[in-house]
Amino acid sequence: MAEPERAGDFLKAILAEAGQGRKRNRFREALDHVLPENQREHCQVVSFRAGKLVIEVDSAPLFAELSGFRREELRLAMNEYLPKQPIAQLTFRLGGTGHV
C-alpha cells in the first residue's frame, strides 16, 4: 500500500495550482482582448511556463487559422496587453488530443 501524502505537500500542490489559475486568468483576459467574440468560446488557456503560452482550441478550422496564419499577430498583441509577462512562444493545441 502506498504511503499517504503529507499534508504539507498536499497544501503546497493546491496553492501552486491556485497560483497557476490566477496567472492563466491574466492570459485569458489578454486573449479575450485580442480575439473576436465568436472565437473566444473555442479557446482555453492551458498553461504558461518559461515564456511559452499554450492555448487549446476546440475547432479544427479555427486551430488551422490561429496556428497557421495568426500566431505571431496574436502573440504580439497579447504582449502589448501584458507587458510584464511577455510571451516568447505561443503554441496552439487541438482540443481532445490529450494533455501532455
Sketch out the chain's domains with CATH numbers. 7-94 (3.30.300.180)
Average pLDDT, the chain: 83
Q: What is the pTM of this model?
A: 0.73
Q: Hey, what's the cell of 19? A: 497560483
Q: Which residue has the cell 500566431?
A: 71
Is pLDDT above 90 for 11?
no
| Runs of H (alpha helix) within the chain | 7-34, 37-40, 60-65, 71-81
Rounded mean pLDDT of 57-73? Answer: 95
Is pLDDT above 80 for 53?
yes
pLDDT at residue 99 in the model: 53
pLDDT at residue 3 in the model: 72
**Residue 66: band (very low, low, confident or very high) from pLDDT cuts 50, 70, 90:** very high
Q: How far apart are the first and last CA of the chain?
A: 28
pLDDT at residue 36 in the model: 94
